[in-house]
Amino acid sequence: METTYYLSPIGLMEIKGSEQGIASVIFIDTVTGVIPNPPCLRECVTQLDEYFNKKRKKFTLDLDVSGSEFQVKVWKELLKIPFGKTTTYGDLADAIGEKEAVRAVGGANGKNKISIIIPCHRVIGNDGKLVGYAGGLWRKQWLLEFENDNKQIALEYND
């Protein structure tokens, strides 16, 4: 597994992957030492840069996800949420044919290790409030506003 880093407008991101695909893109606080630039991760860095420069709305990377069958099902459904749109945990549960599994969908969403590329930030609470984002709710709000041409999203944080 190779590692590199990307400095996004909302913080430092650690990218891990191999020739099989991208395995994780997570926010971190710091990096020490030399920053590698492995060939298998360069396209991910390029596409993230395009995304943050409003030149890309959909990622076309090979992904190397690891999780339960249910988690993978949820993550595949997340990939269908268009740039600039949101859905709810309930709607996501309906979409995968697991209407009663709203909490489990939320749990799977929270275990997504490939931030932004698998757009878990586009899922909001059934009450329209911002809930659950591993990168912090302020980043989730920033991403939603960024994808909506910086229009302030009238969403409240759940405590």
% of the chain with per-residue pLDDT over 70: 94
Give the DSSP per-residue string, 9-78.
TTEEEEEEEETTEEEEEEE-S---S-----HHHHHHHHHHHHHHTTS-SS----B---S-HHHHHHHHHH
Q: How far apart are CA 79 and CA 81, in angstroms?
A: 6
Q: Are the CB atoms for 74 and 109 separated by under 8 Å? A: yes
Average pLDDT, the chain: 92
Angle at 110 between CA 37 and CA 70, to 5 degrees: 100
| Element of type H or E holding 123 | strand 123-124
**Active site residue ranges:** 120
Would you say the pTM of this structure is higher than 0.75?
A: yes
pLDDT of residue 150: 63
pLDDT of residue 159: 43
Secondary structure (3-state) at 127: coil
Tell me the per-residue pLDDT of 45-92, one tens digit each, with 9 for 90 and over: 999 999 999 999 999 999 999 999 999 999 999 999 999 999 999 999
pLDDT of residue 31: 85
Q: Is the pLDDT of residue 153 over 60?
A: no
At residue 5, φ and ψ (nearest 5 deg) are -135, 155
